[in-house]
Structure 1
Amino acid sequence: MQLFACGVNHHTAPVAIRERVAFPPDILERALVDVTGNRVAREAAILSTCNRTEIYCNTEQPEAVAEWLADFHSLPAKEVKPYLYLLPSDQAANHAFRVASGLDSMVLGETQILGQMKQAAERAKDAGTLGLLLNRLFQRTFSVAKEVRTATQIGANTVSMAAAAVTLAERIFPSIEDQSILFIGAGEMIELVATHFVARKPRRVMVINRTIERARELAHKLGGEAAALTALPELLPEFDIVVTSTASPLPILGLGMAERAVKLRRHRPMFMVDLAVPRDIETEVGELNDVFLYTVDDLGEVVRAGHDSRHAAISQAEAIIAANVSEFMHWIDSRRAVPVLRSLRDHAERMRRHEMDKAVKALARGDDPQAVIEALSRGLTNKLLHDPSHVLNHASGEEREALAQHLARLYNLRDDL
């Protein structure tokens, strides 16, 4: 068993890199089957969010996993490698525990990542790429995250990405109440952000989505309107604030569309938040004089301001994680003895069957049962002790002394040699 974690996150790579190695939901199963089917890894699970793309795997060739990540996305390995981290064994377990506990998030202590990790494990299970090692890793990960959140204040006073978006908007506009807001997408992230904005009682709210039914469902919760994504070019000029988070592999709001909207608005400012990875809004849109465009990395600057008050909780959480990493690594070490133990049991079973066959034949001949049982027990004992006795008798010096100590420990013998 060789546990490794390979990936990029908001600490190591800008959004321009993260979006190029992301795994949208529609290709995730194919990727899992590909990385294990090509024998790059025995087991694999992929966590892909706006802040990170990570592959947790059981492999003896971690460099090959890194190369596979670049190849799968048709990228030169040299473009991705500078941003990649490759964490072996205990470092991989420590990283997984920290991620699930919210210690590695842009928003310290946030809870959404735990649900995303559970989804990653479930998708790997459905794809048939979650084996003994990764199943144990994720179960322990979820247990650690629960312990950290229960025993510490890591999630207290959390400044969320949603709250940060509102904070930035209020730097542009004197009051959210006077603004109209357009939400593009209808997933969990959009709903979180929308809830924060709607609490400010904006003048108008609309949700547009590729699937109009989902747009209507969320709009109903928010008390707003709904429309199909195809109506975006026509509707865009009507809104002061635009928040987008879809699973589109390509931008859905380009420079030309934004330029037309700004012109129709007579250069009244527009505030845009792109929470998607890959990004929904072309980078060049942010260069327009009347558009204030922010990505997930930009929001990170705001949320980091709330970290200081939770430093004590971080120390507590790290201690909990360290203890659990130690226990998990002990389990991995114990699994390495399984093949030897299996061989030992198979060896003993062959001896038992051989002596049993001899006993059955003796009984069939009419031999005394007491004598047969005696012979069976003596024969089995002699066979079980023959190999260790032979090795010990033919050893010498320090080797014999070490073997004697091991045998005494294995058979729980008294130290009276």
Structure 2
Amino acid sequence: MHLFALGLNHHTAPLAIRERVAFGPERLLTALKDLTGRCAKEAAILSTCNRTEVYFSTQEPDAAADWLARYHSLSLSEVAPYLYTYPDRDAVRHVFRVASGLDSMVLGEPQILGQVKEAMRQAEEAGTLGTTLHKLFERTFSVAKEVRSTTAIGANVVSMAAASVHLAERIFERMSDQRVLFIGAGEMIELCAAHFAGTGPKQITIANRTPERATALAERFGADTLRLDLVGELMHKYDVVVSCTASRLPIVGLGMVERALKARRHRPMVMVDLAVPRDIEREVEGLDDIFLYTVDDLAQVVASGKESRQAAVLEAESIIEERVTGFFNWLEARNTVPTIRALREEADRLRQQELERAMRRLARGDSVDVVLESLSHGLTNKLLHGPSHYLNHAEGEERARAGELIGQIFKLGDRGD
């Protein structure tokens, strides 16, 4: 059984493709069970605005790509040009790099680690996380922590949330005069709210499908709440709209925004759509006075601290390469467990045979010294019969290799005089 990482991300696929293969939270458990029921022994799925990746162990890696396409009602030919597949060491290296922020749109951004942890939690809940993937994720979190604490990869990080503020500040001279509406109440909105709150806007409002979550988030930032069904009616009151929900369909339509612009007398509005699939219809970007940014646009604002982060990449890559080797040492050791178990069972079987023979001789009244001497000779002969027989019958280079290996196993060259 081999490890693989299969997926696409912002490097390989445009947003229009990424949103078609994204997994909403409500579909993850079903998808994981379906994948392991068809072509994988273990599996976990990481689905964010920038990537959809499947980590799995299988003997049929090609079947997983076909599964990913069919699960989203696509043909393989539609997604194949954007997919990558990493086997074994490359897969482990990729997971370590992703969690460490080296493969992110914003180099070194920390949010991805929490998203990888959530992918592990979902796989555990679905019952698709076996021993190998469990150990892989444990090592992944350890590596990400080491990279972040011992390198400058996190210095001056421009996160998605910080980039959203930066985009808004390009349009408005003072954020303190602006009203900000957040649609959604997940982790990304929470991060964005924290960044925007730091600029001291005139008003912050949280709109979410679940009022309780909106209220809990609003209390943290002294914000107001708004029923989701009232967003269209009151959108004109807000200068900045940031949306990130798990909706499979847009929740902010063209008509809704046109009405808001009319009520605002065409004062400019910044809209940031961090959702995949989109929360805001793409046609909105064609409206005058609307500045609409998607997750792909955020890459353009990553400039501050770039040199220090790039310099840390080499150091981080070195750490990751060393930890990849460590993981495969564990994996290889684990693969020898059945052989070690069989060896010990065979040795114990031979021990039992010699012990039973010795007990019978003692019962007959044989000398204890003679019985013990016979027991030790018999056990030694039986334990060494296999290696001795193999060495005697090997020929040429095989005999030389066998002799060297047996010498190492029994440490024959380690005895001092």
Q: In 2, are the aligned partners of 1:408 and 1:415 still within 8 Å (CA)?
A: no
Question: 2: distance between equivalents of 1:195 and 1:100?
Answer: 22
Letter in 2 for 1:336: N
Question: 1: distance between equivalents of 2:110 and 2:253?
Answer: 32
Letter in 1 for 2:229: T
What do residues 305-352 of structure 1 show as CA deviations (whole Å, max 9, x unaligned)? 542232221121111111111222222223332232222222222222
Question: 2: distance between equivalents of 1:127 and 1:229?
Answer: 31
Task: State the partner residue of 1:401.
Answer: 400
Question: 1: distance between equivalents of 2:342 and 2:389?
Answer: 19
Letter in 2 for 1:313: A
Task: State the partner residue of 2:30.
Answer: 30
Task: State the partner residue of 1:165.
Answer: 164
Question: 1: distance between equivalents of 2:409 and 2:296?
Answer: 57
Please identify, of 356-365 and 163-172, the stretch whose mean Cα deviation from structure 2 is larger: 356-365
What is the number of residues matched between the two proteins? 415
Q: In 1, are the aligned partners of 2:56 and 2:133 still within 8 Å (CA)?
A: yes
Q: In 1, are the aligned partners of 2:108 and 2:309 still within 8 Å (CA)?
A: no
Question: 1: distance between equivalents of 2:27 and 2:300?
Answer: 31
Task: State the partner residue of 1:212.
Answer: 211
What do residues 276-321 of structure 1 show as CA deviations (whole Å, max 9, x unaligned)? 1121111111122232111111011112554223222112111111
Matched residue of 2:115: which SS?
A: helix
Kindly state the Cα deviation for residue 173 of structure 1 after the two structures are TM-superposed: 2.3
Kindly state the Cα deviation for residue 19 of structure 1 after the two structures are TM-superposed: 1.4
Q: Gaps (5+ residues) in structure 2?
A: none
Q: Does 1:69 align with 2:78?
A: no
Question: 1: distance between equivalents of 2:393 and 2:314?
Answer: 54
Q: In 2, are the aligned partners of 1:216 and 1:227 still within 8 Å (CA)?
A: no
Letter in 1 for 2:186: G
Q: Does 1:60 align with 2:68?
A: no
Question: 2: distance between equivalents of 1:398 and 1:154?
Answer: 50
Q: Does 1:3 align with 2:15?
A: no
What do residues 122-156 of structure 1 show as CA deviations (whole Å, max 9, x unaligned)? 22222222222112211111111111111111111
Q: In 1, are the aligned partners of 2:209 and 2:228 still within 8 Å (CA)?
A: yes
CA 29–364 in structure 1, closer or farther in 2 if over 3 Å, else same: farther
CA 415–157 in structure 1, closer or farther in 2 if over 3 Å, else same: closer
Q: Does 1:151 align with 2:150?
A: yes
Q: Does 1:115 align with 2:114?
A: yes
Task: State the partner residue of 2:41.
Answer: 42
Task: State the partner residue of 1:379.
Answer: 378
Q: In 2, are the aligned partners of 1:215 and 1:228 still within 8 Å (CA)?
A: no
What do residues 253-294 of structure 1 show as CA deviations (whole Å, max 9, x unaligned)? 122222222233333222100011121111111122232111
Kindly state the Cα deviation for residue 226 of structure 1 after the two structures are TM-superposed: 0.5
Task: State the partner residue of 1:128.
Answer: 127
Question: 2: distance between equivalents of 1:79 and 1:399?
Answer: 51
Map of 1:172-183 to 2, 5 A cutoff? 172-183=171-182
Letter in 1 for 2:389: H
Kindly state the Cα deviation for residue 365 of structure 1 after the two structures are TM-superposed: 3.9
Letter in 2 for 1:61: E
Q: Does 1:247 align with 2:246?
A: yes
Question: 2: distance between equivalents of 1:65 and 1:353?
Answer: 48
Task: State the partner residue of 2:17.
Answer: 17
Percentage identity across aligned positions?
60
Q: In 2, are the aligned partners of 1:97 and 1:141 still within 8 Å (CA)?
A: yes
Q: In 1, are the aligned partners of 2:29 and 2:123 still within 8 Å (CA)?
A: yes
Question: 1: distance between equivalents of 2:162 and 2:391?
Answer: 71
Task: State the partner residue of 1:413.
Answer: 412
Matched residue of 2:5: which SS?
A: strand
Letter in 2 for 1:281: I
Question: 1: distance between equivalents of 2:231 and 2:50?
Answer: 26
CA 101–327 in structure 1, closer or farther in 2 if over 3 Å, else same: same
Please identify, of 302-311 and 284-293, the stretch whose mean Cα deviation from structure 2 is larger: 302-311
After TM superposition, where is structure 1 displaced by more than 6 Å over at least 4 residues in a row? none
Q: In 1, are the aligned partners of 2:152 and 2:308 still within 8 Å (CA)?
A: no
Q: In 2, are the aligned partners of 1:98 and 1:104 still within 8 Å (CA)?
A: yes
Question: 1: distance between equivalents of 2:87 and 2:25?
Answer: 26
Q: In 2, are the aligned partners of 1:106 and 1:304 still within 8 Å (CA)?
A: no
Letter in 2 for 1:8: L
Question: 2: distance between equivalents of 1:363 and 1:239?
Answer: 96
Q: In 1, are the aligned partners of 2:181 and 2:240 still within 8 Å (CA)?
A: yes
Question: 2: distance between equivalents of 1:34 and 1:212?
Answer: 33
Letter in 1 for 2:136: L
Question: 2: distance between equivalents of 1:228 and 1:123?
Answer: 29
Question: 2: distance between equivalents of 1:195 and 1:174?
Answer: 20
Q: In 2, are the aligned partners of 1:161 and 1:303 still within 8 Å (CA)?
A: no
Letter in 1 for 2:361: A
